Every structure is written in C-alpha cells, then in structure tokens.
Amino acid sequence: MLDFMRRNARSIFIQIAFFIIIAVFIFWGIGTFTSNRNEILAEVDGTIITQSGFLRAYQMEIEGLKRRFGEDFSEKLLEKLNLKERVLQRLIDRTLVTREARKLGLTVEDKEVLERIKSIPAFQRDGVFNKDLYVAVLRREGLLPSEFEEGLKEDLLIEKAMRVVTDSVKVTDGEVKRLFKNRYKKIKVRFVKIDYPEVRDAKEEELKSYFESHKESFRVPERFLVDYVVVKSEDYLKDVKVGEEEVKTYYEKNRSLFEGKRPIPFEKAKTLIEEILKKAKALEVAEKAATTLVDKAIRGRRSLKEAAPEEGFKVERMGPFTLRSTNRITMERALVEALSRLKIGEVSNPVKVGDSFYILELKDKEKARIPEFTEVKELVRKRFLREKARGKAQEMAREIKKLVKEGKDLKEIAAEKGLGIGETGFFSRLDKRIPLMGLPVRGNERIFSLGAGNPSIILEGKEAFYVVELAGTKDPDEKVLEEKKEELRRELFRVKRELAIQAWLKGLRERADIRINREAL
C-alpha cells in the first residue's frame, strides 16, 4: 500500500476526476438494444454505449481539462492521459456500478435528487437555489431538466453503491504510525562510486557487429522542409470595431456569467466584453485573410513564396527537420497532422493554433532510412565504447556487492580496489536528492530498504554506479506524529478507499461480458 501511495501521491490521474469523483453530465451514451447498431462503441452485458454518447462525455472531459490547465493544456496532455480510453472505461464502469447497485436493491428518491440540485452552487443566487437560473444553466448546456435529473439520480445511485463498498474501510493508529515512520524516518548511507572507466579500443569487426545488432537505433527519421505563413489575429485588433448594441446583447445573453454573490453591473463589465468581442472579430478577420491566401495559392497553382507577398504576408522556412525536433510546427499536434497529409508542393488549409492561423507548404520530404555503417561509424564507435565502459563499471559494482553480501567490509573493499568511499548526511523520503551522491530520492526508494537482510544495493547515476550500504538511522520525533496524525489518517483512508473501489470494479469487469468496437473509438 505504501508503494501505491508513493507512486500515486502526485498522479495527475488521481487529481483529475477519478471515477469515484462523480461527474454530473456524464451519463449520456448508455442505452439499450434499440440503439442504432452502427454507432455502438461498446456493449456491457447487453447495455450499449454509443459513439455519440462517448463523444459528448469525451468533449466535456476536454473542456474540464482546459479550465484546469489553461495555457498548459495541449494535445500532448491528452496523449499522456490516454483520455479516450479513460473516458470509455469510465462509461463502462458507470454501467457496471449502476447495474450492481440495482442488484443490491439500492434506490434514490426524488427528494434526494431535489436536495442535491439545491446544493449545487451553479444553480444558486446569493447562496440560495434559484429555479430560473437552474433552467437557464441547463438550457445553455443543451439539457432538459428531466434529462439532467435522470442523470443526477444515477449519480446518487452510484454514490450509494460506493459507500456500501467503502463503509468497512478503517484506518488504525498502527497504520498511521507505520506510515509516519516510513515517510519521516531518516537514514544515512555509506557508498563507493564506480565511474565508467576510459575505454578507447574498438575493433572494426566489433563496431560492425554492434551496428548490425542495433540498426534500428541508428535509423534516420523522416525529414521535412516546410515554408509557412502565420496569420496572427492580434495584427487585426486595431482595425476591428465593436458597437454598443453588440456589447449589450452579449451581456444579456451571458448574464449568468456576471451574476453571483457579487453581481457585475453592465458598466463595469463593458470594457471586458468589448475586449472579448474585439478578439473574436479579429480572429474572424485573420481566418478570412488566411483563407484568401490559401485560395490564391491553390487556385493560382502558386507557391506561398509567390502568393504571400501580394497579401502582405512574410513566408518563413523551416527544416529539414524531423517530427522529433522541437520547433513551432512539431510542438502543435494540429500542425503535425496537417503536415503529414501534404504531398510535396501542396499547400495546407489554415490551421488554427491559439489565436493564429498557420498555412504550411511542404517543399521537400526525405524518407526515413537506415544509414550505411560508414555514414554513422563515429556515432557507432561512441555508443559502443560507452556501453563497454558502462558494462565494466557495472561488473565491478556487482562484484563489490557480492563481497559485501559475503560479509566483507565495504571500506576494506574500496581500499583494495583503489576506490574512494563517502558517507551521506541524514535524509528522508521527503528530500529531493540523496546528499553527496546527487541522485534523486524519487525513483531510488530502494535505498530505504537497506538493513540486515539487505546489506547493500547498486544504484546507477550519470556515468557511474554506486554500491550503497546503511550507515545509520534516525527515528522521527514523536511530537511531529501528533501534528501529522490526522493528515496521515485522511491520506491513508483515501488510498484504502480507492484500493477497495478498484478491487471491486476489477471484480465487476471480470464477471461482465464487455465487447468494445475498437475501430469506432
């Protein structure tokens, strides 16, 4: 459990709407056999999850991430989160839990739904539920009250099922104390550092053999040469105008944005609204300008370099570059996708990135290839010698570790082999780095397992290995335990609760007949 906690303490997935944090609105897409078979994404014991329902849930997750991460939101974040799979799994889990809740005889009364609705801040004005606001918010989301209330009823049913699973979760004083000692205990270690030795000799046959067995690692990736134009909406801000009526109309249509505990009157909101509308108009003008340029280039069968100056735009060139490079094109997934669809000489449609539009023209493309040995001989030599040096250092580290296990003193071993020996100060799991060694604590937690049954371990650093043994321990101050006790108890409870739910969900999944149409995902 402690390993689980360490791995997940900062996990982005636990922070972002894990299944047990019930999300209102994510109830579309679960249907019956009357659903259109062509849009079936998954079936869970005969209950259908539709593509349209999945897409709506997926889009709402994206909107939530955008609000959470702001400017840090990107397509790469979605890839890292594996969001499509997670949303689908959440819908599957939701189906399973709802069915199980009904098997358990759990129900939700209408008055419970009403109480929950009244408690939602989005439907309150000055802290009190407001029916008109409730209807207006749902209308803005494209929902009828009956749809929302049915989904919320299901949310409450799931919450009840979760409570059945987690009601038995308890945290003992002993568990709190063990977690406290594990986290706050300090150790110091003694270590021998084995640097990579200098290796210079490499026979031609060795290098060729190494190249043959590692060819893929020397593959030269596809390379692109691109001309591009950036049409920035900010360049049009000074030319766009916003009328008083437009500002008033926006204020009236979006009145809920300016209401709350401290309503913002029109006069105070006016400047902000003007700025919003000007940016929107400038974006429209920029898109129109970008589209005009593309039309002139494509219809006139001209390059960007020929067509852009007539429209007042500067053409920039980038490359040759690979998609692994870091530049303004490869940093944006939308641009990479547009580039991958182009043939040499083709011009892309405008691609929106932030408040700008990019137009790409692929000038040349070099196919990926595995080079000849002679082209990369020096790189092969460099990698081969480094691996050889690493192997020698690792071999010595293993030999020293074996001698320590046999009972020999680490100081004596170091002296015999002409190696220095060092000793860190005290540090705990809460420290970022291991003193003197410079290695990060995170990822090297094995160091805290040192003791009688585990006299030494090998850690790897940059261009070196370390053989480490325990030099001393220091128990944490019990006074700190009193300060941290309740915080640790809550943390333990959350983890145990989550583990209980995960185990329960795993069982439900294993017993269910789940069929997924991967081609539709």
Contact criterion met (CB below 8 Å) for 457 and 401: yes
Based on the fold, state whether residues 30 and 55 are members of the same structural domain. yes
How many other CB atoms sit within 10 Å of the CB of residue 92?
A: 23
Based on the fold, state whether residues 9 and 128 are members of the same structural domain. yes
Sign of torsion, CA 454 455 461 464?
negative
Q: For the chain, how far is it from start to end, CA to CA, in angstroms?
A: 34
Q: Is residue 179 part of a domain?
A: no
Q: Is residue 178 part of a domain?
A: no
Q: Match 């590692």 to its residue by tokens.
A: 214
* pLDDT of 26: 39
Based on the fold, state whether residues 348 and 457 are members of the same structural domain. no
* pLDDT of 260: 62
Contact criterion met (CB below 8 Å) for 339 and 360: yes
The β-bridge partners of 50 are 40
Based on the fold, state whether residues 40 and 147 are members of the same structural domain. yes
Q: What tokens were used for 515?
A: 């069929």
Based on the fold, state whether residues 11 and 139 are members of the same structural domain. yes
* pLDDT of 492: 94
CA 51: distance to chain centroid? 23
Based on the fold, state whether residues 225 and 209 are members of the same structural domain. no
* pLDDT of 24: 38
Q: Is residue 512 part of a domain?
A: yes
* pLDDT of 511: 94
Q: Is residue 181 part of a domain?
A: no
Q: What is the CATH number of the domain that holds 97?
A: 1.10.4030.10
CA atoms within 13 A on the CB side of 419: 25
Residue-wise burial string across 318-352, b where 16 or more C-beta atoms lie within 10 A, e elsewhere? bbebeeeeeeebbebeebeebbeebeeeebbebbb
List alpha helices for 303-452, DSSP H: 304-307, 333-341, 377-405, 410-416
Contact criterion met (CB below 8 Å) for 187 and 426: yes
Q: Is residue 139 part of a domain?
A: yes
Q: How far apart are the C-alpha atoms of 61 and 28, rounded to whole Å? A: 13
Q: What tokens were used for 61?
A: 């997750």
* pLDDT of 425: 94
Based on the fold, state whether residues 39 and 143 are members of the same structural domain. yes
* pTM for this predicted structure: 0.61
Based on the fold, state whether residues 270 and 392 are members of the same structural domain. no
Q: Is residue 285 part of a domain?
A: yes
Question: DSSP 3-state assignment of 428?
Answer: coil
Q: Is residue 313 part of a domain?
A: yes
Based on the fold, state whether residues 107 and 253 are members of the same structural domain. no
Based on the fold, state whether residues 342 and 423 are members of the same structural domain. no
CA 448: distance to chain centroid? 29
Give the chain's domain count.
3
Residues 6+ apart with CB under 8 A from 357: 230, 231, 233, 286, 287, 290, 350, 351
Q: If 0-12 CB within 10 Å is exposed, 13-18 middle and 19+ buried, where does residue 260 land?
A: middle
Question: DSSP 3-state assignment of 427?
Answer: strand
How many other CB atoms sit within 10 Å of the CB of residue 184?
A: 18
The β-bridge partners of 352 are 357
Q: Is residue 514 part of a domain?
A: yes
Based on the fold, state whether residues 207 and 226 are members of the same structural domain. no
Mean pLDDT by 10 residues, the chain (521 residues): 41 33 39 51 90 82 80 76 89 93 94 93 88 86 84 92 93 93 94 95 94 93 94 92 88 76 78 88 93 91 92 93 86 88 93 93 93 95 96 97 95 95 95 95 94 93 96 90 92 93 94 88 71
Q: What tokens were used for 105?
A: 């005889």
Based on the fold, state whether residues 228 and 356 are members of the same structural domain. yes
Q: How far apart are the C-alpha atoms of 429 and 446, rounded to whole Å? A: 11
Q: How far apart are the C-alpha atoms of 511 and 398, rounded to whole Å? A: 46
Q: Which helix (H) or strand (E) holds 361?
A: strand 356-366
Q: How far apart are the C-alpha atoms of 283 and 214, rounded to whole Å? A: 49
Which among 309, 308, 313, 354 is positioned nearest to 335, based on CA atoms? 354
Domain final residue, candidates 366, 395, 426: 366
> The domain containing residue 327 runs over which residues?
221-366
* pLDDT of 203: 93
Residues in the chain: 521
